[in-house]
């Protein structure tokens, strides 16, 4: 593990020792629960690592959706089979008060109708493809347009709107779920039968590790999988993230045109509001007179990460620190880039999981990824996946306090 990962404090406050109230409720004894809810012996021989499964809802087509809740006794994550979605992330603040810091909903219809990708696993191609068009080995493909004149996050019905198969992963070191989705050739216009398995595991050191693995059969394709969790480190629904401090390992970024498609330029951040190489509050320069901040309505840009993944396959990408409550989220990734998005399109038009509406700038997302529109940008790292090749990537979110 790289040495940038925050070290755990040895002493915990009393509040942090046990589960938060919500987590304790979610993980209460499964003795009376239906057999399918007892997916794993709760805390039997895995220390404090526990997982359970509960019904969450049914799609209009009659497909059942489950919620898996897993914990290490300090951090508790809930994930839906709908979109392999992170629904809740409960972490203690520096005084041991546990809150959900991730935006979401408490019901399936809201996810299906309203969600701007809250916590979802995004595919087959996360972020934008200009006009939804690309050419691969001389063949032209058209993805349905769903964002201005472009295709966003895999087209109109992306992986975020699919019910994934789930398999519990439990070792003595970590607990979580491996989600699998098979996308047939031609779905959303993409070529090739793509099998994706994304495993989300929480370890005892408060690392949520996301391992992506995919193979394609029949035809080559393009792929860009990510997760679109939105965080507010003082708790979802608590207002602006302007005060959250960000340090970003990104010497450059990819400026965009009015449709948020990269111009192809890889621009240095030095001397611009995009320079977070030194820890800076997100809101400090977000209203500055910079054309890219106007186009993005804030930050909605792909950052080009510095350095190379080390022996563990990942490198430090970013650390978010909330001075008020002390929560930090540190991100390591194998990916070359990350879309840093400051919730610019949240407009208070619905209530989230805590019955609070979300307004512009009430959360941030950090979508580790290949660069947007790579299929049309020859100078960007390739997103082509061919039969016989295996796509892998890893991103680790570490939850701590400071
Ligand atoms: C990504 C995009 C944003 C926005 C969100 C979802 O972050 O870059 O422009 O579309 O997804 O609302």
Q: Is 228 annotated in the active site?
A: yes
- Residues 6 or more apart whose CB falls under 8 angstroms from that of 354 comprise 100, 235, 236, 237
Using CA atoms, how far residue 349 sits from 101, 346, 359, in Å, is 20, 8, 8
Instruction: Give the per-residue pLDDT at 312.
Output: 86
Terminal-residue alpha carbon distance, the chain: 20
CB of 77 within 8 A of CB of 200?
A: yes
Q: Determine which residue's CA is closest to atom 5 belonging to ligand 1.
A: 116
At 35 the three-state DSSP class reads helix
- Ligand 1: which atom is nearest the Cα of residue 341? 7
Cα separation, 75 vs 205, in Å, equals 9
If the chain, 402 residues long, is cut into consecutive pieces of 10 residues, what is the mean pLDDT of each piece? 36 29 40 37 56 98 98 98 98 98 98 98 98 98 98 98 98 98 98 98 98 98 98 98 98 98 98 98 98 98 96 95 98 98 98 98 98 98 98 98 97
**Token couple for 290:** 């910079």
CB of 102 within 8 A of CB of 236?
A: yes
Query: Which of 222, 213, 260, 261 shows the shortest CA–CA distance to 125?
Result: 222
Instruction: Give the per-residue pLDDT at 85.
Output: 99
Catalytic residue among 46, 236, 367, 370: 367
Host H or E run for residue 196 = strand 193-203
- Ligand 1: which atom is nearest the Cα of residue 365? 7
Catalytic residue among 46, 228, 301, 332: 228
Ligand 1 centre and the CA of 256: distance in Å? Answer: 13
Cα separation, 87 vs 57, in Å, equals 13
Query: Which of 106, 114, 127, 78 shows the shortest CA–CA distance to 341?
Result: 127
Query: Is the minimum distance from the CB of 98 to ligand 1 under 6 angstroms?
Result: no
How is residue 371 annotated by DSSP? P
Instruction: Give the per-residue pLDDT at 132.
Output: 98
Q: Report the predicted TM-score, pTM, of the whole model to 2 decimal places.
A: 0.90
Q: Which of 146, 301, 345 to mutate to test the pocket of ligand 1 (most atoms within 8 A of CB)?
A: 345
Burial class (CB in 10 A: 0-12, 13-18, 19+), 142: middle
Query: Is the minimum distance from the CB of 217 to ligand 1 under 6 angstroms?
Result: no
Instruction: Give the per-residue pLDDT at 192.
Output: 98
Query: Which of 386, 350, 331 shows the shortest CA–CA distance to 103?
Result: 350
Cα separation, 69 vs 165, in Å, equals 16
Instruction: Give the per-residue pLDDT at 63.
Output: 98
Query: Is the minimum distance from the CB of 270 to ligand 1 under 6 angstroms?
Result: no
Ligand 1 centre and the CA of 92: distance in Å? Answer: 28
Q: Is 61 annotated in the active site?
A: no
Q: Determine which residue's CA is closest to atom 9 belonging to ligand 1.
A: 300
Instruction: Give the per-residue pLDDT at 143.
Output: 98
**Token couple for 345:** 């399109």
């Amino acid at each position: 593990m790289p040495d940038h990962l925050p070290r755990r404090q040895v002493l915990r406050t009393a509040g942090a020792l046990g589960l938060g109230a919500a987590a304790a409720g979610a993980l209460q004894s499964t003795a009376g629960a239906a057999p399918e809810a007892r997916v794993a012996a709760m805390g039997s021989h895995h220390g404090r690592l526990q997982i359970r499964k509960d019904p969450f809802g049914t799609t209009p087509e009659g497909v059942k959706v489950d919620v898996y809740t897993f914990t290490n006794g300090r951090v508790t994550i809930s994930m839906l089979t709908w979109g392999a979605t992170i629904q809740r992330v409960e972490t203690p603040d520096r005084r041991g008060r546990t809150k959900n810091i991730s935006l979401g909903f408490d019901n399936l219809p809201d996810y299906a109708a309203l969600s701007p990708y809250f916590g979802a696993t995004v595919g087959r191609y996360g972020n934008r493809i200009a006009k939804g068009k690309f050419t691969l080995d001389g063949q032209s493909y058209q993805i349905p347009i769903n964002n201005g004149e472009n295709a966003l996050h895999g087209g109109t019905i992306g992986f975020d709107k699919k019910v994934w198969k789930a398999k519990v992963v439990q070792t003595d070191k970590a607990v979580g779920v491996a989600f699998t989705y098979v996308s047939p050739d031609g779905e959303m216009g993409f070529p090739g039968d793509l099998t994706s398995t994304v495993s989300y595991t929480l370890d005892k050191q408060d690392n949520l590790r996301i391992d992506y693995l995919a193979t394609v059969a029949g035809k080559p394709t393009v792929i860009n999988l990510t997760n679109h969790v939105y965080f507010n480190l003082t708790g979802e629904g608590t207002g602006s993230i302007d005060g959250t401090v960000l340090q970003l390992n990104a010497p450059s970024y990819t400026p965009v045109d009015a449709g948020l498609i990269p111009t192809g330029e890889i621009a240095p951040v030095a001397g611009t509001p995009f320079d977070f190489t030194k820890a800076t509050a997100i809101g400090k320069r977000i209203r500055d007179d910079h054309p890219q901040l106007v186009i993005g309505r804030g930050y909605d840009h792909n950052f080009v990460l510095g350095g190379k993944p080390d022996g563990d396959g990942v490198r430090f990408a970013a650390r978010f620190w909330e001075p008020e409550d002390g929560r930090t989220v540190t991100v390591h990734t194998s990916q070359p880039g990350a879309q840093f998005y400051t919730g610019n399109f949240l407009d208070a038009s619905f209530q989230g999981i805590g019955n609070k509406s979300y307004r512009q700038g009430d959360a941030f997302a950090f979508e580790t990824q290949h660069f947007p529109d790579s299929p049309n940008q020859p100078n960007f790292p390739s997103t082509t996946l061919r039969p016989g090749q295996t796509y892998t990537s890893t991103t680790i979110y570490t939850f701590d306090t400071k």
